[in-house]
């Protein structure tokens, strides 16, 4: 494009926010049109040409500039009409005086669901106009509109918008009211692009909000100077460093949206730090000391030199060598810096640099026996990692001199130290040592306790990430030390949640008073969930002739009074009944809906008794009773013993739909966050309904809501309630606390506790009763799949977590499933002539890297063995990530003649693949179990035939054993096995996330590996000629167990298919008493033995006498046993048992004489039902289309899509990039779609149209085949 020769003069009315549009347009088109911009406050917005033509008005000027340049206003006639619509929309709907602002935001949220911009795929004048309208409207907040917020950020980062904003007066653009932003000090010597800051936490606990301030403060300077932020774990103390805490810290940083530019550990530099220490010893700047720690402390306080201070260099080095060996003698030594024992600054009195520790380091293992102190390591690592400005709290001021001394003594580049005040909060301790004490003493539930100042704790209490960020940003980088009240923090949070928290009602149940209304029939109406945010939708309000009022409200009413029922209308109080003590017991009234004047009337919250939601409100107090602890105060003396109050409420029926983490406002009570969603009663077990549990969110006002001023219904330490559920065998009683944890009475409870455990519950808490596991699941599958999955496999006794990240213990319950898979498949392949072998798990680097293409995809995942004891190996040895390169050198020795073919072997073994970011048990682990078959054939035809034979066997295995339907097909070029000719696959589908998952593969390797490893046979038709064999490999893994859990599990726990379950049947005696216990037990045992011997079933008989039948029902449901048999006194009399199916709760009466025939048939029915349900689920979630927008929409609807596709790797990369969504599931990273397979089955592949174009917009290629795309694990 050439620059337009006619220059124009643009005059801006800077008092009008809409005039920002022509300024932004001018910046966008100035490369094409010569524009002279003049900003004059109070003038109209005009553009004048050289000929004197004047056009006035912001939108008219903007259109003129766009048409003049040919930019920002192009496209089809329809697109130009859309642009005109949005220009009008920006004024008529989004203007300050429109009155339709909220409705406009809701409309935009829907429009931007599948669009990057308002019109087309590029920014237009429409985007600029709407952006300016939002920025100029004081009502604008992105909190409730994630799609709109994404668009707003995208447009705001456009170069023309940024340039216009720099020129625009800040008082016009954006909100008129000032924001709470703290003062950020300028960094000395800082220049744009040359600032490097760091955040170096120690992984010995969870991040608290003091750490959050440090992280966000460093991030501020990272952004302000366009510099870098380094994330470094201070892992200098192996006794404190914990891998679990590392993972938590990284997750917390993601919650805070802190994105470091690089990641490191202090331990990455251990060798360098050791070198620096030895250099200082040789230079006489450090010495080894064997003074006991307590004596050394006293000497430093009294400024007395150590007897070792004048040791010779040789003596110091000898002692240092003992330390490095970790010998018993060496563990009594330390290395100290020789600075100034007479200094008034205690940090300079020969501080410790190194100590000898015997603990195993979380990252380096036992490689080192000496570890540097933080004070010695920090300046070294800061310097070598390029840190320019080290931000430290002012409590480190005395250590800053020490920091600089080490830098100067070692001759290192000197970072600038910048101090800021630490975050101090009243009624709070932030020391990790003190917080750990609370956890260890059982005074809190854990590090995420809502009373804790950890990031997790305050988020669980109801703090939003945005509220926390705003609060910390408001503190700035001031050095002033202030003891802040928590109310300040919660006040910031209120600003965030008030516009987006839907309004509901809950009444204190014990004080409720009935209100009878004459002539009212039962009915319902729809009302807004939020009076000022229509985007939150509506809720249903039920009414009838009898409703409930808050007791406190009822006491204040008078006969003849006109009052307002919130969300209904006015009524007149006609009568009030009182008890002899004067307490109101009942109120009568008459509707007065014709009176719509609500000014001056008393506003009453109310509810119908049915429907309603049982609800528990929990209010918390500070853990420390004293606001400000003095230096000499022992915090333990001020521990608040009563910090939790529970209130039983009658809740709005809508509360049944709340999910964990939902924030709401209870009218006239305050804000609350859902900690435990409502759980309905089980239709086929003794577990009654569990209430919706809501945590009160402080709002920044010191006065408490009315509910908190009353006595709690449940004391914090003892809260049992009895749930009685009628089953086929009478009443089964089970006590539960407010969280649903079972508390068994008398003999049962005592039996479940250790013998030395006190019976008083308050003592139990002190003895860490918190570690006892709650029986049922605490989250629903549809609410948070990740947390549900974690709970179901741990509480279902499938796995145990292990101290090596990404590795897990397979408990007997899950390993039995793998054994059943192994036994079935191994039997079948041996009938095909496949023989079992076992190859070593170790492979040399030379052999591993023989096939470069093959190993490239595994390179980042290979774990290496580098040492034997303390001796370095001459050559690193890899632990197998796969076995092709391990096995094939042996194949070359074993295969000589065509008579040796076909050659078929299989091994069941473990594999290690180390490098990944998000481990999930069974699904993605560092070590997993698998079977891998490897075969060799004389010709390609026979080899390819076997590839598909094995694929069909896998399909049959998943259907017959795991009740899982699969889509089989061929992988695209991008997804093929590295080094192979082609890969076939079986793909399962997880509907809860809408993601596909590879369940197994069968590869044709061609002659690639045989040529690399020299695997040949003598040509039977031509002597002396050798032919390379054709090879295959095929396998499945323990991932199959995870797929089974995901597909079939429900909100009660595991649901195991009968053919693979460790136990297919559980038999439970019911209605047991002292008079019949022997008879019922014998009947159960006899039936179990009968089914084992004559029906060949895996049966467990649960005759434990310390658990009730109801508890056993829940226990075995959680573990997923397919069939439960109940036997009680009536059943013995009638010679029958009651069979309950795990998958749907169906109950069947089975006569004992028919049990051997009926029970296996029932199990077959359960299996078929599970398979058919999963098959329907799969089929219902497959979409066929050739339209990109339908493709993206279907992805967000958790579906997988069959599309015409060209097969090009670059195109597949673009599809994955362009289809990425904001969030796929809670806690999971965003991801685009990938090619799952090219389906073989026409039922899934559909009809392929020859000559059809690839479905991706902008791809010029023709489609090669229909391909199944989807998000994937």
- Confirm if 800 and 811 have CB atoms less than 8 A apart: yes
Residue 772 has pLDDT above 50, yes or no: no
Least Cα distance to 919 among 786, 816, 781 occurs for 786
Contact present, 538 and 556 (Cβ < 8 Å)? no
| Through-space distance between the first and last CA atoms of the chain, rounded to whole angstroms | 46
* pLDDT score of 740: 33
| Structure confidence at residue 962 as a pLDDT band (50, 70, 90) | very high
Tell whether the model's pLDDT for residue 147 goes beyond 70: yes
pLDDT at 175 over 70: no
Give me 595's structure tokens: 């009176």
The yes-or-no verdict on residue 728 having pLDDT over 70 is no
Judge whether residue 741 has pLDDT over 80: no
Query: What's the average model confidence in pLDDT over 1193-1208?
Result: 93
Q: Say what the pLDDT of residue 503 is.
A: 94
Q: What is the DSSP letter of 423?
A: P
Mean pLDDT, rounded, of the chain = 84
Sign of CA dihedral 285, 287, 291, 294: positive
pLDDT of residue 196: 95
Q: Which of 208-217, 742-751, 1059-1068 has the highest mean pLDDT?
A: 1059-1068
pLDDT of residue 398: 83
Taking the C-alpha atoms of residue 1140 and residue 412, their distance in angstroms, rounded to an integer, is: 74
Q: Say which residue, 690 or 1224, is predicted with more confidence.
A: 690
The CA-atom distances, in angstroms, between 1263 and each of 973, 987, 1182, 1203, 1259 are 14, 22, 19, 9, 10
The structure tokens 């859309």 sit at 82
Contacts of 863 (CB under 8 A, 6+ apart): 878, 879, 881, 912, 914, 926
Q: Check residues 1165 and 72 and name the one with the higher pLDDT.
A: 1165
Find the mean pLDDT for residues 462-466.
87
pLDDT of 173 > 80? The answer is no
| Rounded CA separation 738/715 (Å) | 11
How does residue 230 score in pLDDT terms, banded at 50, 70 and 90?
A: very high
Q: 1221-1251 burial, b if ≥16 CB within 10 A, otherwise e?
A: eeebbbebeebbbbbbbbbbeeebbbeeeee
In this model, does residue 760 exceed pLDDT 50? no
Band of pLDDT at residue 5, cut at 50, 70 and 90: very low
Dihedral angle computed from the Cα positions of residues 146, 150, 152 and 153, in that order, rounded to the nearest 10 degrees: 130
User: Is the torsion defined by CA of 380, 382, 388, 393 positive or negative?
Assistant: negative
CA-to-CA distance for 949 and 514, rounded, in angstroms?
72
pLDDT tens for 789-836 read 988 999 999 998 887 878 889 999 999 999 999 999 999 999 999 999
Query: What mean pLDDT is predicted for residues 984-992?
Result: 95
Inform me whether the pLDDT recorded for 407 exceeds 90: yes
Predicted pLDDT of residue 855: 54
CB 1031 within 8 A of CB 910: no
- State residue 850's pLDDT score: 64
Q: Which two tokens stand for residue 771?
A: 């570690």
Pairing verdict, β 721-727 and 692-697? unpaired
Report pTM.
Answer: 0.48
**How much is the average pLDDT of 275-286?**
96
Of the listed ranges 848-857, 878-887, 918-927, 1032-1041, the one predicted with least confidence: 848-857
Query: pLDDT grade, residue 1029 (50/70/90)?
Result: very high
Does position 160 have pLDDT exceeding 90, yes or no?
no
pLDDT of 775 reads 58
Q: How many residues does the chain have?
A: 1273
| pLDDT confidence band for 137 (50 / 70 / 90) | confident
* pLDDT: which is higher, 419 or 662: 662
Calculate what percentage of the chain has a pLDDT beyond 90.
50
Band of residue 306 on the pLDDT scale cut at 50, 70, 90:
very high
Q: What is the DSSP string of 413-452?
A: --PEEEEEPPPEETT----HHHHHHHHHTTSSSSTT-TTS
pLDDT (0 to 100) of residue 179: 44
CB 178 within 8 A of CB 501: no
Q: State the pLDDT confidence band at 38, using cuts at 50, 70 and 90.
A: low
**Nearest by Cα to 127 from 93, 98, 154:** 154
Instruction: Note the pLDDT tens digit of each residue in 235-253.
Output: 999 888 878 788 888 888 8
* pLDDT higher than threshold 70 for residue 622: yes
- pLDDT on residue 909: 94
- Model confidence band, residue 672 (pLDDT cutoffs 50, 70, 90): very high
Pairing state between β 513-517 and 546-549: antiparallel
Q: What is the pLDDT of residue 88?
A: 82
Least confident window among 141-145, 679-683, 1174-1178: 141-145
Among 302-316, 751-765, 917-931, name the one with the lowest average pLDDT.
Answer: 751-765
Instruction: Provide the pLDDT for residue 767.
Output: 33
Q: Tell me the two tokens of residue 41.
A: 């406050």
Rama region for 1227: left / alpha / beta (φ>0; ψ in -120 to 50; rest): left
> Distances from the Cα of 516 to the Cαs of 152, 543, 558, 591, 621, in angstroms?
51, 11, 15, 10, 38
Query: Which pLDDT tens digit goes with each residue over 912-944?
Result: 887 555 678 998 888 999 999 999 999 999 999
| pLDDT value at residue 138 | 67
């Amino acid at each position: 494009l050439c620059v337009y020769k006619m220059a124009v003069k643009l005059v801006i009315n800077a008092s009008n926010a809409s005039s920002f549009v022509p300024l932004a347009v001018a910046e966008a088109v100035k490369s094409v049109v010569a524009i002279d911009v003049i900003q004059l406050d109070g003038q109209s917005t005009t553009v004048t040409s050289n000929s004197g033509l004047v056009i006035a008005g912001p939108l008219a000027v903007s259109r003129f500039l766009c048409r003049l340049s040919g930019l920002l206003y192009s496209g089809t006639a329809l697109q130009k009409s859309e642009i005109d619509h949005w220009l009008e929309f920006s004024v008529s709907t989004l203007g300050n005086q429109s009155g339709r602002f909220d409705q406009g935001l809701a409309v935009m949220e829907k429009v931007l669901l599948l669009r990057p911009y308002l019109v087309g795929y590029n920014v237009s004048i429409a985007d600029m106009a709407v952006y300016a309208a939002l920025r100029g409207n004081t009502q604008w907040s992105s909190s409730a509109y994630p799609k709109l917020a994404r668009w707003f950020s995208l447009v705001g980062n456009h170069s023309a918008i940024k340039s216009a904003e720099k020129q625009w007066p800040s008082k016009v653009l954006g909100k008129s009211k000032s924001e709470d932003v703290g003062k950020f000090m300028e960094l000395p010597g800082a220049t744009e692009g040359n600032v490097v800051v760091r955040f170096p936490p120690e992984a010995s606990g969870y991040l608290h909000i003091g750490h959050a301030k440090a992280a966000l403060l460093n991030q501020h300077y990272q952004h302000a100077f366009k510099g870098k932020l380094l994330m470094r774990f201070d892992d200098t103390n192996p006794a404190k460093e914990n891998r679990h805490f590392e993972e938590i810290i990284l997750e917390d940083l993601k919650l805070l949206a802190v994105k470091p530019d690089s990641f490191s550990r202090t331990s990455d530099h251990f060798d360098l730090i050791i070198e620096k220490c030895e250099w200082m010893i040789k230079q006489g700047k450090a010495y080894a000391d064997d003074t006991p720690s307590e004596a050394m402390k006293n000497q430093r306080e009294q400024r007395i030199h150590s007897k070792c201070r004048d040791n010779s260099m040789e003596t110091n080095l000898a002692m240092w060598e003992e330390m490095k060996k970790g010998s018993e003698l060496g563990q009594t030594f330390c290395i100290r810096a020789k600075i100034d024992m007479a200094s008034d600054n205690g940090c300079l009195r020969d501080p410790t640099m190194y100590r000898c520790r015997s603990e195993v380091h979380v990252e380096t293992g036992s490689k080192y026996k000496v570890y540097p102190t933080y004070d010695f390591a920090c300046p070294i690592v800061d310097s070598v990692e390029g840190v320019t400005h080290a931000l430290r709290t002012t409590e480190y001021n005395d250590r800053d001199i020490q920091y600089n001394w080490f830098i100067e003594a070692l001759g290192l580049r000197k970072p600038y130290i910048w101090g800021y005040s630490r975050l101090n909060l009243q009624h709070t301790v932030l020391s990790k040592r003190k917080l750990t004490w609370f956890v260890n003493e059982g005074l809190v539930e854990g590090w995420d306790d809502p009373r804790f100042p950890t990031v997790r704790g305050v988020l669980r209490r109801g703090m939003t990430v945005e509220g926390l960020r705003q609060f910390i940003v408001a503190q700035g980088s001031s050095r002033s030390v202030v003891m802040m009240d928590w109310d300040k923090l919660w006040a910031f949070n209120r600003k965030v949640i008030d516009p987006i928290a839907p309004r509901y009602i809950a009444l204190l149940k014990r004080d409720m008073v009935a209100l009878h209304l004459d002539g009212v029939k039962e009915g319902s109406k729809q009302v807004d969930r939020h009076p000022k945010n229509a985007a939150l939708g509506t809720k249903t309000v039920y009414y009838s002739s009898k409703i409930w009022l808050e007791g406190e409200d009822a006491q204040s009413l008078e006969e003849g009074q006109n009052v307002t029922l919130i969300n209904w209308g006015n009524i007149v109080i006609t009568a009030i009944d009182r008890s002899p003590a004067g307490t109101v017991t009942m109120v009568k009234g008459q509707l007065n809906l014709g009176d719509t004047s609500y000014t001056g009337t008393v506003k009453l919250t109310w509810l119908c008794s049915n429907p309603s939601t049982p609800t528990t409100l929990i209010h918390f107090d500070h853990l420390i009773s004293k606001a400000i602890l003095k230096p000499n105060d022992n915090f333990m003396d001020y521990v608040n013993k009563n910090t939790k109050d529970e209130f039983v409420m009658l809740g709005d029926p809508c509360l049944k739909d709340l999910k964990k983490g939902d924030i709401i406002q209870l009218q006239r009570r305050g804000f609350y966050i859902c900690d435990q969603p409502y759980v309905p009663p089980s239709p086929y077990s003794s577990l009654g309904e569990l209430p919706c549990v809501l945590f009160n969110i402080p709002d920044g006002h010191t006065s408490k809501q009315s509910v908190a001023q009353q006595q709690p219904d449940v004391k914090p330490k003892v809260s049992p309630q009895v749930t009685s559920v009628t089953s086929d065998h009478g009443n089964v009683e089970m006590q539960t606390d407010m969280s649903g944890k079972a508390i068994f009475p008398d003999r049962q409870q005592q039996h479940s506790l250790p013998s030395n455990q006190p019976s008083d519950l308050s003592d139990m808490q002190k003895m860490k009763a918190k570690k006892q596991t709650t029986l049922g699941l605490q989250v629903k599958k549809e609410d948070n799949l990740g947390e549900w999955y974690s709970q179901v496999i741990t509480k279902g006794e499938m796995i145990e977590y292990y101290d090596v990240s990404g590795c897990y213990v397979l408990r007997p319950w899950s390993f039995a499933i793998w054994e059943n898979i192994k036994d079935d498949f191994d039997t079948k392949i041996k009938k095909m002539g496949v023989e079992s072998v076992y190859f070593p798990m170790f492979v040399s680097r030379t052999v591993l890297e023989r096939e470069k293409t093959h190993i490239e995809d595994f390179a980042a995942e290979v774990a290496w063995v580098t040492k034997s004891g303390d001796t370095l190996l001459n050559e690193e040895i890899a632990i197998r990530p796969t076995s092709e390169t391990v096995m094939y050198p042996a194949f070359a020795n074993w295969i000589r003649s065509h008579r040796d073919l076909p050659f078929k072997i299989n091994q069941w073994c473990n594999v290690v693949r180390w490098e990944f970011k998000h481990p999930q048990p069974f699904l993605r682990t560092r070590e997993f179990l698998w079977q891998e078959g490897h075969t060799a054939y004389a010709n390609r035809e026979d080899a390819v035939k076997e590839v598909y034979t094995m694929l069909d066997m896998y399909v049959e295995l998943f259907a017959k054993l795991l009740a899982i339907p699969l889509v089989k097909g061929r992988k695209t070029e991008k997804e093929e096995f590295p080094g192979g000719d082609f890969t076939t696959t079986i793909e399962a589908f997880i509907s809860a996330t809408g993601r596909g998952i590879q369940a197994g593969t069968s590869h044709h390797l061609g002659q690639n590996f045989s040529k690399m490893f020299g695997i040949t046979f003598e040509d039977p038709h031509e002597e002396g000629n050798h032919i390379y064999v054709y090879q295959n490999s095929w396998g499945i893994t323990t991932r199959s167990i995870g797929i089974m859990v995901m597909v079939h599990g429900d909100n009660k726990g595991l649901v195991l298919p009968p053919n693979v379950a460790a136990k297919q049947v559980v038999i439970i005696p019911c209605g047991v008493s002292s008079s019949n216990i022997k008879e019922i037990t014998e009947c159960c045992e006899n039936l179990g033995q009968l089914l084992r011997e004559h029906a060949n079933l895996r049966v467990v008989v649960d005759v434990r006498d310390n658990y009730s039948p109801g508890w056993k029902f829940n226990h075995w449901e959680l573990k997923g046993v397919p069939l439960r048999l109940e036997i009680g006194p009536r059943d013995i009399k009638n010679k029958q048992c009651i069979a309950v199916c795990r998958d749907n709760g169906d109950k069947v009466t089975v006569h004992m004489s028919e049990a051997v025939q009926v029970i296996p048939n029932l199990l077959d029915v359960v299996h078929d039902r599970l398979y058919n349900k999963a098959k329907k689920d799969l089929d219902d979630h497959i979409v066929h289309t050739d339209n990109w927008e339908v493709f993206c929409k279907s992805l967000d609807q958790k579906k997988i899509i069959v599309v015409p596709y060209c097969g090009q790797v670059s195109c597949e990369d673009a599809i994955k990039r362009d289809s990425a969504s904001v969030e796929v599931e809670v806690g999971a990273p965003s991801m685009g779609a990938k090619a799952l397979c090219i389906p073989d089955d026409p039922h899934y592949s559909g009809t392929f149209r020859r000559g059809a174009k690839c479905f991706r917009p902008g791809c010029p290629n023709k489609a090669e085949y229909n391909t199944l795309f989807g998000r994937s694990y």
